[in-house]
Structure 1
């Protein structure tokens, strides 16, 4: 349900009055002489951005697996078994079917005693309990930042955000078409959705590899408050 703002005009008029000026109803965005945020990787091809992402993944302790739609199911099954199999939690998302992995999750894996749980908004906190007990969480990136190796996940009724950080291992399906140079382009993409009147999730999560934490002596510890290991499965979808 879309909410409404109550007494907004009266509230803003009162602020303007206290400031001793007329209320401003329009704002003109500043025009900057230099825009360094636009220059980084602006001329890079998609394949060049993939190379940047590959290199960055080596720096953020994240494995990057190159695959295709036809091979994704096979590669995913291998990685699941390497991680010690279930329990597994997933979103309720039609894209699993589009990428050819739904049958793996709902038919093949259960046949070998895998425990696969699909997020169900009707179950409330039971979803979070399942994610907390899971060995593997499988999600899909909406936007992927090559420069930082960051995946962007949209939350929603069928896409619980806990799936990305409560399980021991995180596997993120990364469609090649989602790769952009950096945060600049990701912000623009989301802003354009708002301008077009599209629904934008209340929680948009920017996740860069597994959990990392370092003490004052810079001793890095991975997996303190999130997945111990993260894998990006880059799918050729173009």
Structure 2
């Protein structure tokens, strides 16, 4: 991935400061809060506790929940694919599909893999697909939200345009809530890891209750969604 190079930044900033009558730039310090209640929510919860919270919240967001082992993941995925009607499937270019031996699960279906060299053709393939499948990078137990890092090999339309969506969730990816997800992402940035400019937070199928507060599922995205938890720890 190519990275940009910043040149003449100090000269540029001094020029702007001079236009406002300032002689030097001000250092902005991160505030240190005495009380941080967001850190206390489910602070002592075990991974199994978080898994229970995630499972219960899946009921509220109309998302099917499955739990399986690494060895049984191919069988579970095949079952969920058939439950969603099979047909065309689209995947991101992700080595984990091979690592978990999932090719056999999709052998009876037409599978397209996101390829950045195809440009907008990827969008057309996603529109035709019945099922989009991705891995969750971080998973929020409190809201049953999966976090996806979208880069040139993992287009965001994989999970947004197909009729149904399956998220494969490593158990080790589960954290209490948005607070911990943000901390993990910030930690990656601070260690110099290059993250994609698009990070998606997805909570089940799309929902809308704008009209007379009548809930409608699948208005502007997948009509159905399923989470498959993999016992990887």
Q: Is TM-score (shorter-chain normalized) higher than 0.5?
A: yes
1:218 matches 2:219: no
The alignment partner of 2:229 has SS state of: strand
- Structure 1, residues 160-199: CA drift from partner, whole Å, max 9, x if none? 1100100000000000000000011111101111111111
1:8: which partner in 2? Answer: 9
Q: Distance in 1 between matches of 2:133 and 2:61?
A: 19
More deviation, 8-17/213-222:
8-17
- Structure 1, residues 120-155: CA drift from partner, whole Å, max 9, x if none? 122111111000110000000000000011000011
8 A Cα contact 1:176 1:236, kept in partner: yes
1:77: which partner in 2? Answer: 78
Aligned length in residues: 232
Shift of 1:102: 2.6
Q: Distance in 1 between matches of 2:27 and 2:58?
A: 43
> Measured at CA, do residues 29 and 236 of structure 1 come closer, stay the same or move farther in structure 2, by a change above 3 Å?
same
Unaligned residue ranges in structure 1 (runs of 5+): none
Task: State which of 199, 205, 209 in structure 2 corresponds to 1:204.
Answer: 199
Shift of 1:21: 3.5
Unaligned residue ranges in structure 2 (runs of 5+): none
> Measured at CA, do residues 7 and 218 of structure 1 come closer, stay the same or move farther in structure 2, by a change above 3 Å?
farther
More helix, by proportion: 1
Q: Distance in 1 between matches of 2:197 and 2:118?
A: 20
The alignment partner of 1:171 has SS state of: strand
1:67: which partner in 2? Answer: 68
2:226: which partner in 1? Answer: 231
More deviation, 120-129/184-193:
120-129
Q: Distance in 2 between matches of 1:59 and 1:79?
A: 20
1:185 matches 2:143: no
| Shift >4 Å, 4+ stretches | none
Q: Distance in 2 between matches of 1:206 and 1:80?
A: 23
- Structure 1, residues 74-107: CA drift from partner, whole Å, max 9, x if none? 11111111111111001111101222213333xx
* Matching of residues 1-238 of structure 1 within 5 Å: 1-24=2-25, 26-105=27-106, 108-109=107-108, 114-238=109-233
The alignment partner of 1:70 has SS state of: coil
Shift of 1:115: 1.0
Q: Distance in 1 between matches of 2:145 and 2:15?
A: 42
